[in-house]
Structure 1
């Protein structure tokens, strides 16, 4: 007997809607709504069930091991549909933290007091963060033009730890070459997701 929680049903509808463009022209779509009898026989949202299986498919950019690392239950545990929904929410948050767009389908299969969970993940291509602007603050002994000349980050450049570290070293090296003592830090701000303004905070001594 297969039924889905309210959250899982919404995700299932969204997943199926996104996939309609992949169906052959003229193919019939059969929509089946749960009958009153089926809904009445389904476990309640907080009824304990034994997790017999947790199947995850469609994930390529995030490993199954990493996904399972944020799910607060494992096969063999007693869970409720509410806890399963919370686990799915943790997976959604994981994808958001990685700036990877995703949608989730699948559902729950009830077998007596047991439940099988199937999550089907549809991933979007990850979007690399980019620089919207670069600001130098606190520099009075070396001009902004001189600092800009030795750094690489520019509006439109991709942001990475390596690029930030390279620019930080270039700024420090420039101060050393001028025999000026200074500390260099960076503060990022993100007014728009995946877009950053890089502010270099320079304390000259």
Structure 2
């Protein structure tokens, strides 16, 4: 669904069954998913597959709508944030933070030499550093089509992010995206077998 993160779907994809369980269906048992909703430590998944979540957004028509600016900046403050992809017409950037109403970005088009870390014990870390300094641009110059990136190494990271989103992002009437527990009943998702 557009601009919607469904908690149940993420938990099903990232929750790994214990060793020895039936692996024909990789999603966790329904009883585990139902008990997971209570948020207690005893209801956590047995194991969690790390997740990189990209949330594509459209925050205006021709330019970014100023009502989204504070919520957009709040996303950078979250410990799970990996930044945002976006830019302005004909320029794509990787945004890593902000300073006031200026976004700090790197140019993702700079290529680096490949380093094979398994080939030798000594690794030249020069390729892991940016040769160009980070740059700034006004947040009002941002193209409205952006994608936020988040990483959850463990289930508690995802649960913490959900709490932060509820507290900091969804408090506004004009929301950048939705965070829902389950798919709405009117939402039918076709499967490969049920088309």
Normalised by the shorter chain, which TM-score bucket? under 0.3
Rg larger for: 1
What TM-score comes out, normalization by structure 2 length? Answer: 0.26
TM-score (norm 1): 0.25
Q: Which has the higher contact order (CA 8 A, sep 6+)?
A: 2
Structure (1 or 2) with the greater helix fraction: 1
